[in-house]
Amino acid sequence: MLRWIRQQLGVDPPHQSDTRTVYVANRFPQNGHYIPQRFADNRIISSKYTVWNFVPKNLFEQFRRIANFYFLIIFLVQLMIDTPTSPITSGLPLFFVITVTAIKQGYEDWLRHKADNEVNGAPVFVVRSGSLVQTKSKNIRVGDIVRVAKDETFPVDLVLLSSDRADGTCHITTASLDGETNLKTHFSVPETSVCQSVSQLEALQAVVECQQPDADLYRFVGRITVIQHGEEIVRPLGPENLLLRGARLKNTKEIFGVAVYTGMESKMALNYKCKSQKRSAVEKSMNTFLIIYLVILLFEAILSTILKYAWQAEEKWNEPFYNQKTEQERNSSPILKFISDFLAFLVLYNFIIPISLYVTVEMQKFLGSFFIGWDLDLYHEESDQKAQVNTSDLNEELGQVEYVFTDKTGTLTENEMHFRECSIKGTKYREVNGKLLPEGMTDDSPDGSVAHLIGDEVLFLKAVSLCHTVQISYDQPDLPLGASDPFSHVNGFSSNHMEYYASSPDEKALVEATKRIGVAFTGSSGDTMEIKTFGKFEKYKLLHLLEFDANRRRMSVILQTPSGGTVLFTKGAESAILPFATSGEIEKTRLHVDEFALKGLRTLVVACRHFSPEEYMDVDKRLTAARTALQQREEKLQEAFDFIERDLQLLGATAVEDKLQDKVQETIEALRLAGIKVWVLTGDKHETAVSVSLSCGHFHRTMNILELLQQRSDNECAEQLRRLARRIKEDHVIQHGLVVDGASLSLALREHEKLFMEVCKNCSAVLCCRMAPLQKAKVVRLLKTSPEKPITLAIGDGANDVSMIQEAHVGIGIMGKEGRQAVRNSDYAIARFKFLAKLLLVHGHFYYIRIATLVQYFFYKNVCFITPQFLYQFFCLFSQQTLYDSVYLTLYNICFTSLPILVYSLFEQLVHPHALQSKPCLYRDISKNSLLSFRTFLYWTVLGFCHAFIFFFGSYILMGEDTTLMGNGQMFGNWTFGTLVFTVMVITVTLKLALETHFWTWMNHFVTWGSIAFYFIFSLFYGGIIWPFLHTQDMYFVFVQLLSSGSAWFAIIIIVITCLSPDVFKKVLYRHLQPTSTQNSQQSLSAPPAQALSCMESLCCYQQGQSGCSRLASLLDQMTGHCKAGASNCHASSRCNRSWSDTETFYSNDRSILTLSPIEGTRC
């Protein structure tokens, strides 16, 4: 009873078994004790909040941030004790920050709600009580039979029951799930595939048993029990029977399926995982600085408190006759007084912690990241893909990368395969004009080659054309246009409107090649595969398909030949097949494979095995048993596969060329010049990898190549490592390259990590071949956790790169042919490897400079802000008198100084982007987080203190002489003093940023001068009115009185100049004495007159001869940022000029052989 209640309340999870039982159409058995399982409904909830819990939940989330929590505490302290400032002064900024963040998060959540509602409310057809009923998607329950029509997406995870085809198959694409655009065939079990109408389905009695929901898209284990004529028929169910939510039905009119996983339990929903939060180095230093400032704050508060009591020890200062204490004050306990004084000082100085820092950083990152997606240079026209930002938290990390780990296939190469050569029975062949020519023969017999093909060759070609999972699509219009190889039309492969679709580009290339040569795969229907061998059709029955997996590194098919025999064709990596081959030209083939690999070709080895009927019976039994197993199916399958794929007869090897991507060499060279070490991690063979490495410039011919290969034992490995370390020291070669293979690497990592790291660090290029996906991640982690803690970047395109992408500080996905897995798990995604150069060298550089200055400046301006307040305590008996009015205290960070830095941090360009891209060495200037180093931090902080001293003591000496500053002899009071300091401060702090700004767009002008103007206008307004709701009218006309004094104006000017001139002086000296390369390139940029856009031009870029009216129009154009024709000619032309002069300047004095062409100036 108790248990039942608890179950109902959801305290106890209801009966968790390993499997779930789904009764098709929810026809539960009438007899027997049956416990209904409870399943989630089909509602997708991606939103975080509801209307009701938004406020508390969001507040809770926000106050978990230390900075927000700190300000909350300050606010509460202000509410509780008598403090110098009203709670509003810290409450309002906090409220502002919280509100801005809440609005942003609320908006995002609202979008999610909208998307959810759309999905949940989509109409679907469900078979209920004998008829087809339209309902909303969210109403689908587990067990419902759902009908899905052509080109619709599946609303739930379905087990396919039947389709309009007789064989019960259907085609789907899973592009939205994993990005694989090829068609996949899914099957239904024969017993249900006959139920093609509603009435037949009504009569169907079946039970599906399957595993509990699981996030793995490619794993599904279950079985279906169909009751036919009182007889139970059990059939295994696998991933090929499951239609995933989110996938789309293709080439099939309609299907029926039974819902097994609904709503949040569907595989798609389970894959909505929160990515682990990566934090950038900048954020870490920011937190360190915050702690330092917290220490300064505490120090100042404690010092003030102690000094206060030291001062008050003397009776005359404790209670002068004019400022008597109340009874209550006299009687309260000294300890309490001490604590409350301390808290009051804490409140007084709390603004030293910049409250708006986080919100500004967040806005900067959010808004700034748009520029990556907008960049035309990162846009790939052929595939219509632009760069994609998945997280904006890491923008600045792009400027800090020290190690790049790159995948080879699909990242450095196009992943676009072309069959080149093959080796059959120990003879090498080349493909020339659709004909296979043995080595040494020339193509002199244009028509004869076909006849020359002998048995072995044909068998080899047949094996290649049959052993694959390629699909054929005939009806063009239904396919997602250009989803697959866009060049296939051009190359003329698709005669008869027939096109191959394959998940592996190698397979596609091979099948296409055999078709050209004469053995064409013409299609498969059901379990029959048909090939056309030199005009003759042959039908093979597909008995079993032994799928490819990364561990086995091979795949096989078992076929029944037209003559009735049973044969297994297998193809895979040479290391996965040669050891199991027992006959054929093993040694010669191995030699050929190595030769192919040396040319940088991708090799596959093909083998076959003939089964006798008895053998096949055994094989069939094992496979079926393994496939229907509910427990440990994978292990059992592995065992079965290993049993089957042996005693192979080697047929030959294929060599497929994977073209290098455009400008890979230049990009790698640029990265190297930028001080970034590039490691290539690949699953390919050692020889292939080395040759690709050489051809893409990763390895140079001049490089001393060290090898750590095929190490079998620990000792050997250590010995080899020591040898290598010695060689690095002894060989007088500038650059070393290291080649490691997976097996040796795992040995080296296990025991000799330090030694290995030592060797690696001295190598300018490292190539790891034969790497398993997890090993890739391991290498990244090893580097990441090494003592220097370098910033790592991983770039890859396939699912096998995901672990490495997630492990590295910055993960970059290439939007390639191998699906979207990498893109979805990456932080940034780009279409081509060559874009990496711009992403790092330009965007990374900019973002880093922007955010680093932003952070430093924030601390600086708050030191400037609070230190005078601290100094003033010495002149008011440590009574916590504020120097500035509360409104100024509140608005300083929110209004007066917030916008210039935000605009700066969005638009600053220290150097022209072309310079950054063509001079990669500039990247070194910002490496190792140099702008946030402790030295720079100290510079800014000390500068802040100095400026604060100058503001304060400048004003102090001016006022301290006791003389009037006004022409009418009247005197100023304390608020005028504070306002003078504040005015000087706002101007200085704004101008300091102006000094840092190198790129003045109209927006910079607007916010910089606008901020100062706003301060003046606001102060005039604020001081010009008696505010009825304010407690005191301290500031009434104070500002006007201040400005009416000539001396005050002179003082403001002199103090501002005093603060800034040493800074300018320092900058000039450093520029000339120790110029950084960045500064050099700034200088050389300014040389050509074409670029010298004057200040006026930047405010209003117009052509000569334009009338005032069109000037206005062009100004408006710029405001909207549009580069329309006509008015913006000047942009284009000046752009053009610039890029050309850039080239001249840079190529002449840069040692690099870069040909990174400047961006076309004519685009506009």
Partner 1 sequence: MKEEGNLENRPSNTAFTQQRLPAWQPMLSAGVVIPGFLVIGLAFIGIGVGLLITSRSIQVLELDYTGTETNSPCNKCTTLPIQNNCVCKLNFTIDTLFKGPVFFYYSLTNYFQSQRKYGASLDYNQLSGDLTYFKSPASDCDPYRYANGKPIVPCGSLANSMFNDTFKLYQIVNGKENLVPFDGKGIAWWTDYNIKYRNPDYSPLENAFNDTEKPVFWSKPAYKLDTSDSSNNGFVNQDFLVWMRRAALPNFRKLYRRITEGDYKDGLPVGNYSLEISYNYPVKSFDGTKKATFSNVSWMGGQNEFLGIAYLAIGSMCVVMSVVMLIVYAKFRFPEDD
Asked whether position 1065 contacts partner 1 by CB under 8 A, the answer is yes
In this chain, which of 56, 320, 565, 579 binds partner 1, going by CB under 8 A? 320
In this chain, which of 415, 1045, 1078, 1141 binds partner 1, going by CB under 8 A? 1045
In this chain, which of 425, 541, 1071, 1111 binds partner 1, going by CB under 8 A? 1071
User: d(Cα 213, Cα 232) in Å, to the nearest integer?
Assistant: 25
Asked whether position 961 contacts partner 1 by CB under 8 A, the answer is yes
In this chain, which of 198, 630, 782, 966 binds partner 1, going by CB under 8 A? 966
| Cβ pair 142, 25 in contact under 8 A | no
602 has binding-site annotation:
yes
Residues 278 to 317 in contact with partner 1, rule: CB under 8 A: 316-317
Q: Is the dihedral of CA 137, 142, 145, 147 positive or negative?
A: positive
| Amino acid of residue 557 | V
In this chain, which of 80, 367, 550, 957 binds partner 1, going by CB under 8 A? 957
Placement of tokens 């001062």 in the chain: 311
User: d(Cα 1158, Cα 838) in Å, to the nearest integer?
Assistant: 11
In this chain, which of 324, 332, 575, 933 binds partner 1, going by CB under 8 A? 324
3-state DSSP assignment of residue 523 = strand
- Give the alpha-carbon dihedral of 495, 499, 505, 509, to 10 degrees: -20
Asked whether position 971 contacts partner 1 by CB under 8 A, the answer is yes
Residues 894 to 913 in contact with partner 1, rule: CB under 8 A: 907, 909, 913
Asked whether position 1036 contacts partner 1 by CB under 8 A, the answer is yes
Asked whether position 379 contacts partner 1 by CB under 8 A, the answer is yes
Query: Up-side HSE of residue 754: CA atoms within 13 Å toward CB?
Result: 1
In this chain, which of 17, 199, 933, 963 binds partner 1, going by CB under 8 A? 963
Residues facing 523 on adjacent strands: 530
157, 375, 407, 658: the catalytic one is 407
Asked whether position 965 contacts partner 1 by CB under 8 A, the answer is yes
| Cβ pair 599, 433 in contact under 8 A | no
Q: Which two tokens stand for residue 574?
A: 């040479």
Asked whether position 924 contacts partner 1 by CB under 8 A, the answer is no
Asked whether position 973 contacts partner 1 by CB under 8 A, the answer is yes
Q: How far is the CB of 945 from partner 1 (least distance, A)?
A: 20
Look up 447 and say whether it is catalytic: no
Asked whether position 480 contacts partner 1 by CB under 8 A, the answer is no
Q: Which two tokens stand for residue 714?
A: 């620990």
1142 has binding-site annotation:
no
In this chain, which of 175, 598, 1054, 1136 binds partner 1, going by CB under 8 A? 1054
Q: How far is the CB of 1061 from partner 1 (least distance, A)?
A: 6
Q: Which two tokens stand for residue 193?
A: 């595939």
In this chain, which of 540, 848, 904, 977 binds partner 1, going by CB under 8 A? 977
Q: Which of these ranges, 150-158, 646-654, 786-794, 1044-1052, lies near partner 1 under the rule CB under 8 A?
A: 1044-1052
267 has binding-site annotation:
no
Residues 327 to 346 in contact with partner 1, rule: CB under 8 A: 327-328
Q: How far is the CB of 341 from partner 1 (least distance, A)?
A: 11
Report angle CA 413, 418, 422 to the nearest 5 degrees.
120
Residues 1012 to 1031 in contact with partner 1, rule: CB under 8 A: 1026, 1031
Asked whether position 970 contacts partner 1 by CB under 8 A, the answer is yes
Return the number of the residue (54 or 875) whose C-beta is nearest partner 1. 875
In this chain, which of 36, 130, 579, 1075 binds partner 1, going by CB under 8 A? 1075
Return the number of the residue (19 or 909) whose C-beta is nearest partner 1. 909
797 has binding-site annotation:
yes
Q: Is the dihedral of CA 504, 505, 507, 512 positive or negative?
A: positive
853 to 892: interface string for partner 1, x by CB under 8 A: -------------------x--xxx-xxxx----------
| Cβ pair 557, 568 in contact under 8 A | yes
801 has binding-site annotation:
yes
In this chain, which of 131, 212, 287, 1061 binds partner 1, going by CB under 8 A? 1061
548 has binding-site annotation:
yes
How many of the chain's residues bind partner 1 (CB under 8 A)? Answer: 124
Residues in the chain: 1164
Pinpoint the alpha helices (H) of 415-471. 449-452, 455-466
In this chain, which of 18, 231, 381, 447 binds partner 1, going by CB under 8 A? 381
624 has binding-site annotation:
no
User: d(Cα 392, Cα 475) in Å, to the nearest integer?
Assistant: 42
684 has binding-site annotation:
yes
| Cβ pair 172, 257 in contact under 8 A | no
Q: How far is the CB of 466 from partner 1 (least distance, A)?
A: 32
CB-count exposure of residue 538 (10 Å: 0-12, 13-18, 19+): middle
819 has binding-site annotation:
no
Of the candidates 742, 738, 772, 770, the one whose C-alpha atom is nearest the C-alpha of residue 755 is: 738
Pinpoint the alpha helices (H) of 421-564. 449-452, 455-466, 488-491, 505-517
Residues 985 to 1014 in contact with partner 1, rule: CB under 8 A: 995, 998-1004
Asked whether position 209 contacts partner 1 by CB under 8 A, the answer is no
Residues 1096 to 1155 in contact with partner 1, rule: CB under 8 A: 1097-1099, 1101, 1118, 1120-1123, 1128, 1130-1131, 1134-1135, 1149
Q: Is the dihedral of CA 188, 193, 199, 201 positive or negative?
A: negative
Distances (CA, A) of 94 to 74, 237, 347, 362: 10, 57, 14, 15
User: d(Cα 424, Cα 420) in Å, to the nearest integer?
Assistant: 13
CB-count exposure of residue 662 (10 Å: 0-12, 13-18, 19+): middle
In this chain, which of 34, 95, 272, 374 binds partner 1, going by CB under 8 A? 374
Write the DSSP assignment of 140-184 as a string of letters.
--TT-EEEEETTPBPSSEEEEEEESSTT--EEEEEHHHH-EEEEE
User: d(Cα 245, Cα 177) in Å, to the nearest integer?
Assistant: 9
Q: How far is the CB of 1031 from partner 1 (least distance, A)?
A: 7
Pinpoint the alpha helices (H) of 1025-1128. 1038-1043, 1046-1073, 1077-1086, 1095-1099, 1108-1120
Asked whether position 87 contacts partner 1 by CB under 8 A, the answer is no
Q: Tell me, rounded to whole angstroms, the distance of Cα 41 from its chain centroid.
A: 32
736 to 775: interface string for partner 1, x by CB under 8 A: ----------------------------------------
Asked whether position 218 contacts partner 1 by CB under 8 A, the answer is no
Pinpoint the alpha helices (H) of 660-752. 664-673, 686-695, 714-730, 742-751
SS3 of 569-605: EEEECHHHHHHHEEECCHHHHHHHHHHHHHCCEEEEE
Q: How far is the CB of 918 from partner 1 (least distance, A)?
A: 15
484 to 523: interface string for partner 1, x by CB under 8 A: --x---x---------------------------------
Q: How far is the CB of 360 from partner 1 (least distance, A)?
A: 20
CB-count exposure of residue 304 (10 Å: 0-12, 13-18, 19+): buried
Return the number of the residue (675 or 1161) whose C-beta is nearest partner 1. 1161
In this chain, which of 8, 212, 323, 1155 binds partner 1, going by CB under 8 A? 323
- How far the first Cα of the chain sits from its last, in Å, is 76
184 has binding-site annotation:
no
User: d(Cα 805, Cα 815) in Å, to the nearest integer?
Assistant: 13
Return the number of the residue (654 or 1084) whose C-beta is nearest partner 1. 1084
Return the number of the residue (45 or 1113) whose C-beta is nearest partner 1. 1113
Distances (CA, A) of 578 to 424, 467, 555: 14, 17, 14
Residues 99 to 158 in contact with partner 1, rule: CB under 8 A: none
Which residues line the annotated binding site for Mg(2+)? 407, 409, 797, 801
Which residues line the annotated binding site? 407-409, 507, 548, 571, 602, 682-684, 770, 776, 797, 800-801
Catalytic residues: 407
